[in-house]
Chain A
Amino acid sequence: MTKRKLVVVGNGMAGARAVEEVLSRGGADQFDIVMFGDEPYGNYNRILLSNILSGAQDASEIFINPLDWYAENNITLHAGSPVVKIDRAARIVTSEAGVEEPYDKLLIATGSRAFIPPIPGVFGPDQKLKSGVFGFRNIDDCNGIVAQAQKSTRAAVIGGGLLGLEAARGLLNHGCEVHVVHLAKHLMEMQLDTPGGALLKASMEKMGVNVHLEKSTTEVLGEEHVSGLAFKDGSTIECDMLVVAAGIRPNAEIGRSAGLTVERAIVVDNHMRAIDDPDVYVVGECAQHRGKVYGLVAPLWDQGKVFADHITQRNLDAAYHGSKLATKLKVMGVELASMGITEPLEGDELIQFSEPKKGTYKKLIVRDGRLVGGILMGDISKAAFLMQAFDRDSPLPEERLSLLFDFGAPSQKVTIDEMPADMQVCNCNGVTKSAIGACVASGAKTTKAVMDATRAGKGCGSCKSLVGEVVEWFCGGEVEEDPSVHYYVPCVPLTKPQLIAAAREQGLKSVSSIFQALAGGVEDAASKPALASLLATIWADEYEDERDARFINDRVHGNIQKDGTFSVVPEMPGGVCTPDELMRIASVAVKYNVPLVKLTGGQRIDLVGIPKDQLPGVWSDLGMPAGSAWGKSYRTCKSCIGTEFCRFGLGDSMGLAAKIEKRFRGIDSPAKLKLATTGCPRNCSEALIKDVGFVAVGDGKWEIYIGGAGGAHVRKGDLMCTVDSEEDAIALGGRFMQYYRENAKWRERTYDFVPRIGIERIRAVIVDDSDGIADALDVAMQASVDAAYDPWKEALAPKTANQFASVIETAEV
């Protein structure tokens, strides 16, 4: 294939990144690449200009791609050579210096420039900025500001947005008195609400920056050189230098003169192509997508990927869907992160914390369980988590307090330990904790090496220290990293709530579809039962039961023994059976020569040692329902005598046990559920140490205890509530079980789950319906109850081929 020619107009962050994306897709084999840049340099990280201004970094440190890079990648770079004409008919671009380059495909990435408001006196007679007045947009601006600051005593900055404040902070380092002049009522009004703006003002002033709000500049004073500013309210300030940071304007003129549709910027489709010409792509701040023009770095990375996928034909369906905006302020001494909207709409949930004395302010706006806006000041330790939740629109933990604070996590180390592997450390470049881990594992042992290889910390730079800490953590050697500890199953990098959300969203109803959609098509044997349980829980009768995903116990409905035989436990609610049933059990034991007949701890009779192929016969002869004694599921409900014969009984424990068993039998759960009812607080049936225990206390009332255990752990259950009737006991017990089913980790028994969540929290959700989910829990449990069936009926209608065959005889041919 003959190579085509890709000409890129613009050598800023967008243009260079887009080209890198093309190269990473093997684009060098498809295209000869030519780039034009206005500035006489390679490509640098514009976001870090404020670091150069403050002296934190040297100009040489912010280059992303030095000139060598272009040569190494066979890219022809015309640096310092602005393009002045695009002839779309002839497909030729022409630069100011007269260089002409024909193209097959064109990328416009001209970015934007500082907006200089037309204030009288801001320009000199030559129409250039008056002496001492600067924009703040490129390396030359930066060098000019630094040079001027050396000889200045009072500097003014017009603009109290992100850039203006970063400039102001930088100027302080050069010994100037600094004044920020802002038109709006508070600083950073795009990203902050009024209290946040006030707090930021206080922080800036504490640092030594003078802040003037609601000041409309009417004139830049001074004959030759700037000497001050005059305002609409008649006041003035003196200054001997001025930085104008009043926003940016897209460099879209080149598009207009080329006959492309330009509104605020050049209008593009979802493939980042100009809507008028399929051979012209536009990315970055000069592009307008669905009416939006972005001025932050993250959208530009996304756009670059879509462009590269499309132009290399790697993915012709690649589409950009817009970006959500989140930002951090890089001002030394001020910790600030902001995302989305700043004020709640009606019906939104507002979560706020304010401690002005410490400069801490946190405000989150939640809509439908999702984060739609947030402001963090002072303490931004939760910023990475929240920004990710915001960006991905993922459901938030129900524990709202944990959104604002890390309890019990005093040191950073704990935080990195607990950071999920898929958490983004660098939001600009989408680098996760696990990606950094992989990079360290492949031999990069320094922060710089990791940053070079992954680009982590090379976007806005605000995460650099965190990247360093994560790298250090991975290099720690002794630290055992198991990124999967937070996953529900190790092969799908999602927590249980995330996994449930994904399964619901994508309609994944079978274990094999989960592997296909969420685990890259790789099956993990050990994960199958956990996934089957979860899907059965959330889909009830819609669950697509693939028997191969079930542990053998759930395939043949008995508990496997060490010799490969199985145990058979018929249902016996509350430990009660009829004499007839008892005789049948005895007959079966004789007929099948059952090696062991044993009473279980759950007040039932266990027939142990039955070969697989005898199971259907045993079940049929018993004529009793399955006792669910083998699975991660509701097992049984034991009871005492209750009121019928016992002289102390206060409630009908046997009756309630039977009702509970009939309702919940066979319901899947994260681990086994053993229940009990007891007719009085003497606790003969040990209800106080059950997963769910019901204790009659008289007058028809029942106490419900949860999280008890009498096994490997011994734990007395926590009293969840006292109810007035059997119906309420069943309803609330069931609601708790559903909450446990949806929220517990795989194999996490209630005696771990209840202390982990906290009894107060559980009581609030289950009894007081604090989260408004009680109805949903009840509905979900009812769906599972309705979907449950007696699996021993498979004796007559096997579910799979040779389901109960111990061995298949070969009919040789």
Chain B
Amino acid sequence: MTTKILIGSLDQIPKGEARNFMVRDREIAVYHTHAGEVYATQPGCPHKMGPLADGLIGGATILCPLHDRLFDLRTGQNLSGDCTDIQIYPVSLTEDGRIAMELEPAT
């Protein structure tokens, strides 16, 4: 059974950026897109452990700041064809703008 955890509120992440959250001893990168959507992934790029939360968001993609690996935030799929995929976590918004996450990986 999965548990939903309220990890914080959306206004802790500027629009178009991401922040790392410590969720039960696990670091998770949480993204807030320009469209107002929220996504969560593993924090490090599989290539050289680049901090994905420091990357550039475009639509629902994240570009790693170290070597430009590109991932789809919705699926975790590597889009630049030069890296393995990343782990994503199911995440949603409550009506009052808080971020709810399931700790069990979705992929």
A and B found bound together: yes
CA distance A252 to B81 in the complex (A): 63
A548, B17: Cβ atoms closer than 8 Å: yes
CA distance A433 to B53 in the complex (A): 39
Collect the chain A residues with CB atoms within 8 Å of residue B48's CB: 562
Name the prevailing secondary structure of the A interface residues. Answer: loop
CA distance A802 to B32 in the complex (A): 13
A808, B8: Cβ atoms closer than 8 Å: yes
User: A669 near B: Cβ within 8 Å?
Assistant: no
User: A526 near B: Cβ within 8 Å?
Assistant: yes
B44: min CB distance to chain A, Å: 9
Interface bits A541-584 vs B (CB < 8 Å: 1, else 0): 00000111101100100001011100000000000000000000
A548, B5: Cβ atoms closer than 8 Å: no
List residues of B (8-31) whose CB comes within 8 Å of A's CBs. Answer: 8, 11-17, 19-24, 27
B16, A546: Cβ atoms closer than 8 Å: yes
A528, B56: Cβ atoms closer than 8 Å: yes
- Given known A528-B58, A551-B56, A800-B17, contact A808–B22 (CB-CB < 8 A): yes
CA distance A466 to B22 in the complex (A): 61
- Given known A547-B14, A564-B51, A802-B19, contact A813–B58 (CB-CB < 8 A): no
Collect the chain B residues with CB atoms within 8 Å of residue A552's CB: 51, 54-55, 65
User: A111 near B: Cβ within 8 Å?
Assistant: no
List residues of A (522-536) whose CB comes within 8 Å of B's CBs. Answer: 522-529
Interface bits A100-123 vs B (CB < 8 Å: 1, else 0): 000000000000000000000000
B19, A560: Cβ atoms closer than 8 Å: no
User: A806 near B: Cβ within 8 Å?
Assistant: yes
User: B88 near A: Cβ within 8 Å?
Assistant: no
Residue of A nearest to B10 (CB): A801
User: A191 near B: Cβ within 8 Å?
Assistant: no
Collect the chain B residues with CB atoms within 8 Å of residue A251's CB: none
B22, A807: Cβ atoms closer than 8 Å: yes
CA distance A527 to B24 in the complex (A): 35
Collect the chain B residues with CB atoms within 8 Å of residue A807's CB: 19-22, 27
User: A512 near B: Cβ within 8 Å?
Assistant: yes
Collect the chain A residues with CB atoms within 8 Å of residue B66's CB: 560, 562
Residue of A nearest to B70 (CB): A525
A810, B21: Cβ atoms closer than 8 Å: yes
- Given known A526-B68, A552-B65, contact A812–B54 (CB-CB < 8 A): no
List residues of A (766-813) whose CB comes within 8 Å of B's CBs. Answer: 800-802, 805-813
Which of the residues A527, A546, A551 comes within 8 Å of B58, measured between beta carbons? Answer: A527
Which of the residues B14, B19, B56 comes within 8 Å of A525, measured between beta carbons? Answer: B56
B61, A525: Cβ atoms closer than 8 Å: yes
Interface bits A484-525 vs B (CB < 8 Å: 1, else 0): 000000000000000000000000000010000000001111
CA distance A31 to B15 in the complex (A): 47
Interface bits B43-75 vs A (CB < 8 Å: 1, else 0): 000001111001111110111011010100000
Collect the chain A residues with CB atoms within 8 Å of residue B16's CB: 512, 546-549
Which of the residues A527, A551, A560, A812 comes within 8 Å of B6, measured between beta carbons? Answer: A812
B17, A547: Cβ atoms closer than 8 Å: yes
B58, A810: Cβ atoms closer than 8 Å: no
Collect the chain B residues with CB atoms within 8 Å of residue A551's CB: 56, 65
Residue of B nearest to A491 (CB): B58
B61: min CB distance to chain A, Å: 6
B55, A525: Cβ atoms closer than 8 Å: yes
Collect the chain A residues with CB atoms within 8 Å of residue B22's CB: 807-810
CA distance A755 to B76 in the complex (A): 43
CA distance A549 to B57 in the complex (A): 8
- Given known A525-B56, A809-B22, A810-B5, contact A548–B15 (CB-CB < 8 A): yes
A516: min CB distance to chain B, Å: 10
A224: min CB distance to chain B, Å: 78
Chain A interface size, as a band, is: 20 to 34
A758: min CB distance to chain B, Å: 32
Collect the chain A residues with CB atoms within 8 Å of residue B19's CB: 802, 805, 807-808
- Given known A560-B66, A807-B27, A810-B5, contact A526–B20 (CB-CB < 8 A): no
Chain B interface size, as a band, is: 35 or more
Collect the chain B residues with CB atoms within 8 Å of residue A811's CB: 8
Which of the residues B12, B17, B49, B51 comes within 8 Å of A808, measured between beta carbons? Answer: B12
Residue of B nearest to A552 (CB): B54
Which of B22, B50, B54, B70 gathers the greatest number of chain A CB atoms within 10 Å?
Answer: B54
B97: min CB distance to chain A, Å: 13
User: B7 near A: Cβ within 8 Å?
Assistant: yes
CA distance A546 to B33 in the complex (A): 13
Collect the chain A residues with CB atoms within 8 Å of residue B17's CB: 547-548, 555, 800
CA distance A806 to B65 in the complex (A): 15
Collect the chain B residues with CB atoms within 8 Å of residue A800's CB: 14, 17
Residue of A nearest to B35 (CB): A523
CA distance A813 to B9 in the complex (A): 12
B62, A806: Cβ atoms closer than 8 Å: no
Collect the chain B residues with CB atoms within 8 Å of residue A546's CB: 16
Collect the chain B residues with CB atoms within 8 Å of residue A802's CB: 12-13, 19
Collect the chain B residues with CB atoms within 8 Å of residue A812's CB: 5-7, 24
CA distance A289 to B27 in the complex (A): 66
CA distance A813 to B99 in the complex (A): 12
Residue of A nearest to B30 (CB): A808
B20, A806: Cβ atoms closer than 8 Å: yes
- Given known A808-B21, A810-B22, contact A522–B59 (CB-CB < 8 A): yes
CA distance A805 to B43 in the complex (A): 14
Collect the chain A residues with CB atoms within 8 Å of residue B65's CB: 551-552, 560
Collect the chain A residues with CB atoms within 8 Å of residue B62's CB: 525
Residue of B nearest to A546 (CB): B16
CA distance A551 to B64 in the complex (A): 10
A560, B54: Cβ atoms closer than 8 Å: yes
Interface bits A594-619 vs B (CB < 8 Å: 1, else 0): 00000000000000000010000000
Collect the chain A residues with CB atoms within 8 Å of residue B50's CB: 564
B54, A813: Cβ atoms closer than 8 Å: no
CA distance A807 to B26 in the complex (A): 11
Residue of B nearest to A553 (CB): B65
Residue of A nearest to B51 (CB): A564
B89: min CB distance to chain A, Å: 13
Residue of B nearest to A802 (CB): B19
B96: min CB distance to chain A, Å: 12
- Given known A548-B15, A564-B50, contact A526–B8 (CB-CB < 8 A): no
B104: min CB distance to chain A, Å: 16
A548: min CB distance to chain B, Å: 3
List residues of A (630-661) whose CB comes within 8 Å of B's CBs. Answer: none
Collect the chain B residues with CB atoms within 8 Å of residue A547's CB: 14, 16-17
B63, A525: Cβ atoms closer than 8 Å: yes
CA distance A802 to B54 in the complex (A): 12
Residue of B nearest to A565 (CB): B51
CA distance A790 to B44 in the complex (A): 31
Collect the chain B residues with CB atoms within 8 Å of residue A810's CB: 5, 7-8, 21-24
Collect the chain B residues with CB atoms within 8 Å of residue A805's CB: 19-20
CA distance A551 to B50 in the complex (A): 14
B14, A523: Cβ atoms closer than 8 Å: no
15 of the cross-chain contacts (CB-CB < 8 Å) are: A525-B56, A525-B58, A525-B59, A526-B63, A526-B68, A548-B15, A548-B34, A800-B14, A805-B19, A807-B19, A807-B20, A808-B19, A810-B23, A810-B24, A811-B8
**5 other A-B residue contacts (CB within 8 Å) besides A528-B58, A807-B19, A807-B27:** A525-B58, A547-B14, A551-B56, A564-B50, A807-B21
B interface vs A, CB < 8 Å?
Answer: 5-8, 11-17, 19-24, 27, 34, 48-51, 54-59, 61-63, 65-66, 68, 70
Give me the 6 closest cross-chain CB pairs, A-B, nearest first. A548-B16, A525-B58, A525-B63, A552-B54, A800-B14, A525-B56
